[in-house]
């Protein structure tokens, strides 16, 4: 099940094309820049384990730098600002909500990994 849900996160060719048409059409300089990034990632992957680690670092950095442009970031920031007013219940404070959710997510991931290992054994 986890593999299926992870696969559904991977964009297919049509989704890539839709995204590229929306953001790159009419912006050849940006398209060139994005193509160079993809090429660099491919080059890193071809360099073996060290290159894969480098590519992973680049992707993690890009993901981190993308976050401030997302709706989630804007909502989290608004939530944070509201918490500064002092009118937010302690259990609704950002830190409390996030810690609880992260613990639930970690437990869920651990359970899924355990189930996957057990399936491999059988």
Question: Does pTM surpass 0.85?
Answer: no
Please determine, for residue 5, whether its predicted confidence score (pLDDT) is greater than 80.
no
- Burial 30-42, CB ≥16 within 10 A → b, else e: eeeeeeeeeeebe
Q: How far apart are CA 11 and CA 17, in angstroms?
A: 10
Window from 9-13, 49-53, 68-72, 111-115 with minimum mean pLDDT: 9-13
59-77: pLDDT as tens digits: 999 999 999 999 999 999 9
């Amino acid at each position: 099940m986890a593999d299926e849900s992870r696969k559904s996160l991977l964009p297919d060719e049509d989704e890539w094309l839709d995204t590229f048409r929306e953001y790159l059409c009419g912006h050849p300089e940006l398209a060139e820049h994005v193509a160079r990034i993809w090429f660099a990632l491919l080059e890193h992957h071809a360099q073996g384990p060290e290159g894969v680690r480098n590519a992973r670092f680049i992707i993690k950095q890009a993901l981190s730098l993308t976050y401030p442009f997302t709706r989630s970031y804007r909502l989290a920031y608004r939530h944070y600002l509201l918490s500064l007013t002092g009118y937010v219940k302690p259990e609704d404070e950002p830190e409390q909500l996030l810690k609880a959710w992260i613990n639930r997510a970690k437990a869920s991931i651990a359970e899924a990994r355990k189930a996957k290992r057990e399936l491999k054994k059988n």
